[in-house]
Chains A and B, each alone.
Chain A
Amino acid sequence: MARIIAGVASSHVPAIGAAIDNKQTEEPYWKRVFSGFETSKEWMRQTKPDVCIVVYNDHASAFSVEIVPTFALGCAAEFPPADEGWGPRPVPVVKGHPELASHIAQSVILDEFDITVVNKMTVDHGLTVPMNLLFGSPAAWPCPVIPLAVNVVLYPPPTGHRCFMLGRAIRKAVESYPDDLRVVIFGTGGMSHQISGPRAGLINSKFDKAFLDNLTKDPQKLARIPHLEYMREAGAEGIEMVMWLIMRGALDDKVDEVYRFYTVPASNTAVGHIILENRAKGAKPAGKRKAAPAKLKRAAARAKVERVHS
Chain B
Amino acid sequence: MNDKEKLLEEVKTMKKVASRPKCLTDRVFHYCPGCTHGVVHRLVAETIDELGIQEKTIGVAPVGCSVFAYWYFDTDFSQAAHGRAPAVATGIKRSVPGSVVFTYQGDGDLAAIGTAEIIHAANRGEKITVIFINNAIYGMTGGQMAPTSLINQKTQTSPYGRDSETMGYPIRVSEMLSGLEGVKYLSRVAVDTPANIIKAKAAIKKAFETQLTGTGFSMVEVLSICPTDWGLNVADSKKWLKENMIPYYPLQEFKAPKAEEAKGGE
A and B together in one complex: no
Binding site for B on A (CB under 8 A): none
